[in-house]
Structure 1
């Protein structure tokens, strides 16, 4: 008789939107054969209690992370707290004997990167970083095309990401709007994009020239208040957000804000916001590939455009995630061959789940035994580090001027 598979005993720390859904409710709904949620930790126990109900769990709640580790001895800890707190939680989890999955970005400074990497090596445990964009069906197909040599050796990339004035504005309502917490969107959001580039190109960035300015949000707004719920300008502000209209967010954040003061609808025009909302970067890779990148956070569309230029042709993708017109439930990759080689249109259907199936594919890879990682999609701490370092170099360049080399930021990793 076949012995029952032992499930991974995991603890969740951080019960915001991502922790509650991606690594809570959804993980248990689809992968309960492989995982068991044994503990939930958050400094705000009211939020944790509400998250537990949404997840559908009876796991015990903790405000004390070390107490949870000591009492439960989980084999895996999933970290979904604000970015600047990741390193401390990751290191303590590793030292307790657990593996770790960290939401992206892995952390926010070179010093914190070094601390995580040292602890991982010292304890012999593993850190995974949640780079789900690698797992989307369209990203996987592009990776295959590059590795198959569809356009020969890649020499340059054009990569432009558009956040609409719903998603983009949301970063400026929350803790992400301050560099000390998020490292700026060059780190928090662009870590996805820089990781995709590093993975697609199978190379490391070595030098970055960045520009970033706060041109739309922050003090640029025509008026401001403390938060949308109490603002006198709700009738005239394009960015008014009625939290009460979203039952999930209202339940998870509004009453729990009485515990820690963290409101989910802070004004996007707060004068102390210190991250750029308009960003560009030129990136040079060790392989010689040159990249032109941009990130804009107040567009009428959501999605991205990427094009790979090679000696034998060009691969193009324009992915729409939200826009004021209808598009097919699939992505069109166009492969344009040089020298009369013709053009191929490849349609990749969207799959169910977040990131057009990427979230589900990533959870399959991590939790289902025997998964074949032929495209090297599963991302560890080095991948997490390199994407953060690229973002930090872009931010430093945008503030100090001149190009910034990656290696001096973290010599042990970037050499």
Structure 2
């Protein structure tokens, strides 16, 4: 079924002239490794860029014709820009879509030769979508998730937007079917809904690194996340513990990176931003020696970069203070524990890039594993 849906989203076969065909940027992208490793997942791309305005919307319309009727709201504009990239995930399909403003509506079943009746879970990256049905109307903005049912009647407007769309078949599982059926035509405005949004963005970012063998595990994790985030329960959340933890940890890392020099950055700020308990925060960062150890390690890495930057000639204590170290001696000890050199030695010898641990070569062989593992810490 998913293979069929991927084919539906491709352009219909026709006989364009050679010039138009050359401008049609639609191709399958598949990375084949020359060293014998499994190939990465193929993706299928197409864009309206380079086509005459008269053809741009028509081709965009045709690409969605099996499931939606699209209307050009602003036909007098110089261009209509649309781009999509599709991944066939076996039991799921993920689409990355960028589109100019347009209207959309579902198709009556009798006009479709091969009806598409799946759920779509749409994560807005930018822009806004407004949807109406006979019973309700709802809106989604960046970071929010909308659930549509392609087999039901609806219409709406999408502004100039970027989005991820997950196509979920009705026969994925009985439990998933019941869960999405209860949430269709709604915006998941809860914290768990936002967690699913982060999960789907993370999946899209990682797809270029996955292979076909990874798809069963990805499908299982996604199913667990749908159940946990759309219809939370203790059992659903427990089943999705691994994917949820990964999403939370990634959010925490991004938060630490963005506020690394903020003197208020600490475990309580991270906990509040993630919306989790102190116990949950402790469990997330236990492998890193705790959240404060993780923050300190990232600040030390930042200090190392500053000390090896030939354009940064500030005094060492100024660099240390900027990263929350009020005691120069404490900073020096922590820095040498992390990198094997004092801050002044690093400044004097110059260098750059990733900190090097030359002591690994000279330490006793039985201690090397411990050195390596500590280097990975944080």
- Which structure has the bigger radius of gyration? 2
Greater helix share, 1 or 2?
2
Higher relative contact order (CA 8 A, sep 6+): 1
> TM-score normalised by the shorter chain: which range applies?
under 0.3
Question: What is the TM-score of this pair, normalised by structure 1?
Answer: 0.22
